[in-house]
Each structure stands twice: as C-alpha cells, then as structure tokens.
Amino acid sequence: MLRARIVLGLYIVFLLLPIYWLVNMSLKTNTEIVSSLTLWPHNLTFRNYATIFTDPSWYSGYLNSLKYVALNTVLSIALALPAAYAFSRFRFVGDKHLFFWLLSNRMAPPAVFALPFFNLYSAIGLFDTPLAVALAHCLFNVPLAVWILEGFMSGVPREIDETAYLDGYSFPRFFVKIFTPLVASGIGVTAFFCFMFSWVELLLARTLTSVDAKPIAATMTRTVSAAGMDWGLLAAAGVLTILPGALVIWFVRNYIAKGFALGRV
Amino acid sequence: MDKPINQGAWLLVLPVLLIVAFSAIVPLMTVVNYSVQDTFGNNQFFWNGIGWYQELLDPTTDLGGRFFDALWRNLLFSFLILAIEVPLGIAVALSMPRDGWRVAATLVVMALPLLIPWNVVGTIWQIFAREDIGLLGWVVNRLGIPYNYTADPLSAWVTIVVMDVWHWTSLVALLCYAGLRSIPDAFYQAARIDGASQWAIFRNIQLPKMHRVLLIAVLLRFMDSFMIYTEPFVVTGGGPGNSTTFVSIDLVKLALGQFDLGKAAALSIVYNLIILAVCWVFYTVMTRMDAQRN
C-alpha cells in the first residue's frame, strides 16, 4: 500500500505544481515576476484580480463564456433526451448507422469546421452572438449527451414504461413526469460533461465571435502588448477560468465516478 | 430481451438529427465545394477538379510534403501520448484509495486539469516551463540540462508531451478507476486465498474488467491528440520552425492565415476521412466485444 501512496502522491504533486505556479504568479507584481524567481509572492498583491473585476472588457469575457456554455448545455440535453430514449428503447431503420454517425461527429476535428462555421453563421446573421457558439458546440456535445444518456436510460427497466402506459399515461406525460426523474443523475452527469467540453473549447468560440460575444479565453490574448507580456494579469485571468470548473467538479464529485463507470465520456 | 422495432422512434431522433446535420453536413458540404475549386480572391472561383487532392497526396509537392510532415509528426505525437498516458493512467487508477474521504478529494484534484480551458492549459505550461520565470524551466536549466522550448525543437516536444500527460492522464485514470470499482471484493478475497500474486490479480481480475473502458480511453486519447490544436498553439505556436506543427495547426494556418481555401478544404476532407476510418475500426471492435459478452 505504501507504493500506491507514493505513486498517487507524486502524481497529485505533478498535477498541482503548475497550478500552484499560476496562482503564485497571479499574486505577484510584474516587477517581481521578471526580476527574480520567487517560490511565493514576497510582495503580495491583488491588483491583477482588481483589474479584471473592474474592467468591463475583462469581466464581460467571463459572462460571455458562461452564457454560451449554459445555452449549449440546456440545448444539448433538451435535444438529446428524446433521442437517447429512442436509441435505448427501440430498433428502427438505420439506428446503428445513425448512432455511429453521431459519434463520429464527437471525433471531428474543430479545425475542419472553423472556416465553414464562420461562413455559415455570418450568412444567417448569428455571427458574434452567444447562440452561434452554443450551436457550434452542439456539434460535439449533442452526440456526447446522446451517448451518455443512452447508457443511463438502458439501465432503467423497460417494465416501468409498460406499467405507465397501462396506467393510461400518454408518452409526453410519462416522459416528463416519470422517466426524466428516474434518469436525473444521468442528466447531472451529462450536464457536467457538456459544461466541461463547451467551457474548454476555444478554437470555434474564438472564430465565431469578434467583440460582443468574445469569450474570456480570447480576451486573454490581449495581455501581449508593446510593453511586453503582462504575466501577472494573464495568470490572474487563468486562475479565474479554473474556478468555475473547480466549483462544478465539487458539486458533482459523487456522480463523476458513476458517469465514468459507464465508460462513456 | 430484444428491443421492439418501432419506426416512430425516428420522430424522437429527428431534433438531434436536424441540429447535427445543420452543424456537420452543411459545413462539410461547403468544405467539399471549396476543395474542388480555386480562388484568386474577390469571391471568384474556378473549377479545379481533384487538383488539390492530387497535390496534397503527392509528397513531392510543396503542399503534399507539408501535409505528410505534419501527419507523421502528429502520429508520432499520438503514439507517444498513448504509450505514456495509458500505462501511467492504469498505475494511478490502481493506486487510488477505494473508500473514505480521500476518494472524493482525489477525484476532485484529478478532474481539475480536465476542466481548465485548453488555452489556459497552454498558458499554464508556457509560464511554468519558461527558463526565466517558470519553475520547471528554471530548475531544469539549473540542473545543467539546456532547455528552452522556444528555441530548441527537442525541448518543445518534451514540453508539449509533458503538458498533454499533465492534462489528460487523469481521464485515462478516472476511466480505469471506474472499471476497477465494478470488481466485487469477493474476487480479491478469493485471489488472496488462492495465494495469487499482485501480477496475477492484475492480469486475471483487474485487466479484464478494464478492457472496455481502456478501449474507450485509447480511442478518446488517440482522437483528441490527433486533432490537438490549442495547447501547442499557445505554447510554441507550431515552432520552433515547424517542429511542433500538427495537422490541425497546419490546417488553421492554411485556412484562416493564408486563406488558401481550396488547399485547406482538401486537407480537411482527407483529415476527416482518416479520423472517420479510425473511429469506425474502434466502433466495430467495441460492438463486437459487446456482442461477445452477451
């Protein structure tokens, strides 16, 4: 058991060290960062964070990102719920091919889609709106949501459906009142993964926005200026992008293992 | 029990079909359209047939040479990633606590890198690995090993591989851990009574349980490393020279940097076909395995 603890301990140190370094940088002044390598901030400053919270061009980036992430999560789950039910309960013409085709979109490289998405969303007047990014992220999140939800739904015995129909439930009422609550934990896990993949993606989000809906990740490239890199500010912005993820993990920590247990990510 | 056949299920799938078709088929058709044309700007297009494809798949041309270089580089990268992350992920999963408060704490810490935006992952390592202000770069240079990822291709590769290991090993570990959790304690007890060695337990009990999740882990890690873009772009920008220019980086350079639409589109189609083929192989193997088990 000692060996296991050493392996795990080393791995966790390896994971946390770069993050610690980022936090360390974010609490330093630029003079301190550039002049010498210090293991902890000698002149502790929160100025970098203050800049982000008071400058609208900074904090609006966070709001924009959260907007399209939330929109995408809701869209993906709402669309995927009935489809996942169909895949888990029925056989129909072309079901296997359709399922494979959906999954293959999860694997499609975003770089391929960057330019055509730009043309498409410009053409329909959605360019530079959170909706454009939310729709674009549906490309990989909807298939993912269908995949995860199908796994959870297949775990619900089919007798429940049949009993409900015998009791005179119509399909929509059964689906909303009885079935959806049964797969609530599955929906939680799906929301987590949709949030995750929409939150971390940058290439499409950056390509589809310019000013009004600019995500925080794109704003961060601003710290390169004629006066050199503003390392402290860059680090502070980075730390703030880690926080929403950390919060979400904390809330779903008991479900993560379950989601992974299905082997469907 | 077999699922009943019900064509009405198509109605339930329809919304998903429409949205994915809108965001996959429409753009892909645009790409196909570009890939057979040439443009001199001003929105004037000329029919070019399969010209771009011929150039792309011929390594002696400029475009073809560039594509194959990026492709081999990318395959080498994916191979390294799998060779490191899969064994390491299994090792970490085997070392994880099985119960108690430490499970939740470990899970949260391990999932943390997965939820950091990819460009921030790049930023973290850009800072961490710098020789002047980064802990890693500074320590390595102090040890007398020359290391500078902006100037030396080997350093750049090491940085990007280590960064990816940092970023994604947790995914492999979490998947394996989930597989391990489904093993009842009775199995371990039986193995202990039989006097099975650690290796025998791993080989005969743990590995078979992880089979399916491992396959998924390999698939996901292969795909995601094969289309990696943001992280190396932030850290090295594809350099020094072209030493870390992977297929996606090259593609974005062609499409959005040089607006070489025809070439970029042909590259996109070939790139997509490779991914589709690999994906299909994995999917077939996986469904076969499921069928065997039932």
pLDDT at A58: 84
Supply angle C-alpha B33, B35, B39, rounded to 5. Answer: 90
Span B260-272, pLDDT tens digits: 778 888 888 899 8
Percent of chain A with pLDDT over 70: 94
Select the more confidently predicted residue: B187 or B86. Answer: B86
Nearest CA to B209 among B83, B93, B85, B100?
Answer: B93
From CA B159, how far away is CA B67, in angstroms rounded? Answer: 23
**pLDDT band of A69, cuts 50, 70, 90:** very high
Domain-embedded: residue B286: yes
From CA B27, how far away is CA B259, in angstroms rounded? Answer: 17
Q: Which residue of A has its CA nearest to B211?
A: A263
From the list B92, B115, B169, which residue is nearest A200 (CB)? B115
How many domains does the structure of chain B reveal?
1
- For the domain A56-261, what is the CATH code? 1.10.3720.10
pLDDT at B4: 83
Nearest CA to B156 among B134, B132, B116, B125?
Answer: B125
From the list B112, B134, B166, which residue is nearest A246 (CB)? B112
Name the DSSP class of B254. I
From CA B267, how far away is CA A220, in angstroms rounded? Answer: 30
Fill in the amino acid letter for A50: A
From CA B125, how far away is CA A22, in angstroms rounded? Answer: 9
Percent of chain B with pLDDT over 70: 97
Burial class of residue B4, CB neighbours in 10 A (0-12, 13-18, 19+): exposed
- Is the pLDDT at B47 greater than 60? The verdict is yes
- Min distance A102 CA to chain B CA atoms (Å): 8
Provide the domain limits for residue B257.
Answer: 9-293
Whether residue A16 and residue B4 make contact (CB cut-off 8 A), yes or no, is no
pLDDT at A224: 62
Domain-embedded: residue B1: no
Q: What is the mean pLDDT of chain A?
A: 85
**pLDDT band of A265, cuts 50, 70, 90:** very low
- Is the pLDDT at B290 greater than 90? The verdict is no
Q: Which two tokens stand for residue B241?
A: 């020279």
Domain-embedded: residue B4: no
Percent of chain A as helix, strand, coil, to the nearest 5: 75, 0, 20
Q: Residue B131 belongs to a domain with what CATH number?
A: 1.10.3720.10
- Which chain B residues are Cβ-neighbours of A90 within 8 angstroms? 3-6, 8-9
Nearest CA to A118 among B263, B26, B227, B228?
Answer: B26
From the list B94, B127, B179, which residue is nearest A4 (CB)? B94
Span A226-245, pLDDT tens digits: 556 788 888 888 899 899 88
From CA B221, how far away is CA B227, in angstroms rounded? Answer: 10
From CA A103, how far away is CA A148, in angstroms rounded? Answer: 11
Range list for CATH 1.10.3720.10 in chain A: 56-261
Supply angle C-alpha B180, B182, B188, rounded to 5. Answer: 70
Q: How many Cβ atoms sit within 10 Å of the Cβ of residue A224?
A: 11
Q: What is the mean pLDDT of chain B?
A: 85
pLDDT at B230: 86
Per-residue pLDDT averaged across A160-184, rounded?
A: 89
